[in-house]
Amino acid sequence: MTFTDLNIDQDMVDALASKGIIEPFPIQSQTIPLALARQDIIGQAKTGTGKTFGFGLPLIQALGLHPEPGVQALVVVPTRELCVQVAEDLEIAASNRETKIVAIYGGKAYEGQVEQLKAGAQIVVGTPGRLLDLAGQRLLSLKNVKVMVLDEADKMLDLGFLPDVEKLFAQTDATRHTMLFSATMPGPVVALARRFMNKPIHIRATDPDEGLTQANIKHVIYRAHSLDKDEVIARILQAEGRGKTVIFTRTKRAAAKLVEELNDRGFNAAAVHGDLNQEQRERAMAAFKAGKKDILIATDVAARGIDVNDVTHVINHTVPDDPDTYLHRAGRTGRAGKTGIAVTFVDWDDLHKWGLIHRGLQFGPQEPVETYSSSPHLFADLDIPVGTKGRLRASTIVHESRARTAGSTGERSGSGGGSREGGSRPPRQRSGGSGAAGAPRTEGNPAHHEAGGGAHDGTSPTRRHRTRRRTGGAGGGAPTPPAN
């Protein structure tokens, strides 16, 4: 079956073909004929199965080849990243017609978005907060909306956006054509559909024998030690056939630390999390999609917008909070019918949480396997070449530290004074040191702690300071142990 068989206009068929999109996915083949007939639809399918074109193609076709200026279609999405992704997909489909599409979301200046609205954009893709904001300022009118789509409705519920969505529905004409798409259908979403939709048809584009998880994704669960995770991840990133990889962390701080650690190990990583401004997040996403960065570290806020077909691996740095979050994370791989691998690390304290996810997703008898970076089964499970280490290059920071230490030793030997330790002792680790001037520092990396100038001739202010501290403390003269 082709899109032509589904009565999609030839200009859109050609636009999709130019991007290598020829055959429709099940959710598309089931929803498109109904949507073209203006039937209200509740579409339920796993993430990554093509829901965007399932509602997008009929929506664009309903407006015609030469639509009148003004907002006639509204697509509401839960996150900024998904907003950008959906708008880009619709622009691909409408590239051979005069339809204008605008993405409306927070974190960016109003001016550009308002300018596109004033220029006559017919399709708005937006997040609830910014849409209501512009509507409240009378910069966005929804009274002429003919088609309204609610995408990722379950995520709307998770983020507390359903009241805002109801306000948006209230600003549109009751005769509009409405479509709602979601991976799961919790009760409040069903209630919303009943309230604002007209006799909707519920479509489930899933295989009843497949279970809750996608059959084309291999799920690997490890019980890992927190201090060994970075090393394990670095070895996984060197697996045979590893392509683009998404790593999910629980917190913004963990994401920031991990991207710095992986880049220092020689990998090409970017991060997307709440501490970055919108421009930084968009740059990171664009670099990942373009292949300039092949590792994306993200918190769950960005999960719904990572729609990249060639993601081969998803790594859960920590256990997700619930089964739905696990499904959405894992769904970043195995998209568009391809295969993928989802690796999850379970901390000892999170075994109970994993038990809930395990039962909720009907994984079967799959208990977390105790795993370290040296475990033979790690290499066998994920096709990692035997002998692989977790570093592509020596740390530049470690290298600079050693170079400075060697230079200090050479200077002492040349002066005839010599080192008290014979010039062979590595720099002593201590907390709170100021480091050499200009030396990069990273919290938690022992290589970043300097010995206060390196020379042990009694002239270093830092050295004298440390001696005074030892003299005044208990245990006089015992060296400070290395930080763990």
Q: Please give the Cα distance from 10 to 66 (Å, whole number).
A: 15
| Domain 217-381: CATH superfamily, name plus number | P-loop containing nucleotide triphosphate hydrolases (3.40.50.300)
Q: Please give the Cα distance from 412 to 301 (Å, whole number).
A: 54
- The whole-angstrom distance between residue 448's C-alpha and the CA centroid of its chain comes to 29
Q: Sheet with 101-104: list strands edge to edge.
A: 101-104, 123-126, 73-76, 147-151, 177-182, 41-44, 201-204
At residue 438, the pLDDT reads 41
At residue 13, the pLDDT reads 96
Of 263, 265, 220, give the one whose Cα is nearest residue 383. 220
Q: Please give the Cα distance from 341 to 146 (Å, whole number).
A: 41
**Block residue for tokens 């978005």:** 113
Q: Please give the Cα distance from 462 to 468 (Å, whole number).
A: 10
At residue 41, the pLDDT reads 95
Q: Cβ neighbours of residue 183 under 8 Å, at least 6 residues apart?
A: 44, 45, 46, 47, 152, 154, 324, 327, 328, 331
Domain boundaries, the chain: 10-204, 217-381, 396-462
Q: Cβ neighbours of residue 290 under 8 Å, at least 6 residues apart?
A: none
**Token pair belonging to 481:** 């142990």
Q: Please give the Cα distance from 315 to 332 (Å, whole number).
A: 10
**Token pair belonging to 231:** 């090393």
C-alpha dihedral (163, 166, 167, 168), degrees to nearest 10: 130
Q: Please give the Cα distance from 260 to 275 (Å, whole number).
A: 15
Q: Please give the Cα distance from 483 to 465 (Å, whole number).
A: 20
The CA–CA distances, whole Å, from 354 to 252, 358, 420, 471 equal 21, 6, 54, 51
The answer to whether the beta carbons of residues 200 and 177 sit under 8 Å apart is no
Q: Please give the Cα distance from 29 to 61 (Å, whole number).
A: 15
Angle at 77 between CA 15 and CA 40, to 5 degrees: 75
The counts of H helices and E strands in the chain are: 17, 14
DSSP assignments along 184-211, one per residue: S--HHHHHHHHHHSSSPEEEE-S-TTT-
Q: Please give the Cα distance from 115 to 102 (Å, whole number).
A: 10
**Token pair belonging to 105:** 């979301």
At residue 389, the pLDDT reads 93
Interior/surface letters 79-91, b for 16+ CB within 10 angstroms, e for the rest: bbbbbbbbbebbb
Helices (H), 243-370: 252-264, 278-290, 323-330, 351-360
Q: Please give the Cα distance from 410 to 387 (Å, whole number).
A: 36
Return contacts of 60-63, CB within 8 angstroms, 24+ apart. 60/12, 60/90, 60/93, 60/94, 60/97, 60/99, 60/123, 61/8, 61/9, 61/12, 61/36, 62/36, 62/38, 62/146, 62/147, 62/177, 63/99, 63/122, 63/123, 63/146, 63/147
What residue type is assigned to position 476 of the chain?
A: G
Q: Please give the Cα distance from 469 to 464 (Å, whole number).
A: 9
Q: Please give the Cα distance from 278 to 176 (Å, whole number).
A: 32
Please give the DSSP secondary-structure letter assigned to residue 480.
P
At residue 445, the pLDDT reads 42
Q: What is the pLDDT along the chain (484 residues), one digit of tens a residue?
A: 899 999 999 999 999 999 989 999 888 999 999 999 999 999 887 666 788 999 999 999 999 999 999 999 999 999 888 899 899 999 999 999 999 999 999 988 899 999 999 999 999 999 999 999 999 999 999 999 999 999 988 888 877 899 999 999 999 999 999 999 987 788 898 899 989 999 999 998 754 434 455 678 899 999 999 899 999 999 999 999 999 999 999 999 999 999 999 999 999 999 988 888 888 888 998 899 889 999 999 987 665 567 777 899 999 999 988 887 888 888 888 876 788 999 999 998 888 888 888 888 877 657 899 999 999 999 999 999 999 999 997 765 544 444 444 444 444 444 444 433 334 444 444 344 433 334 443 434 434 433 333 333 333 344 444 444 444 444 444 444 444 4
Q: Please give the Cα distance from 315 to 313 (Å, whole number).
A: 6
Q: Please give the Cα distance from 28 to 25 (Å, whole number).
A: 5
Pick the CATH number of 10-204 from 3.40.50.300, 3.40.630.30, 1.10.1740.10, 3.50.50.60: 3.40.50.300
Q: Which helix (H) or strand (E) holds 234?
A: helix 229-236
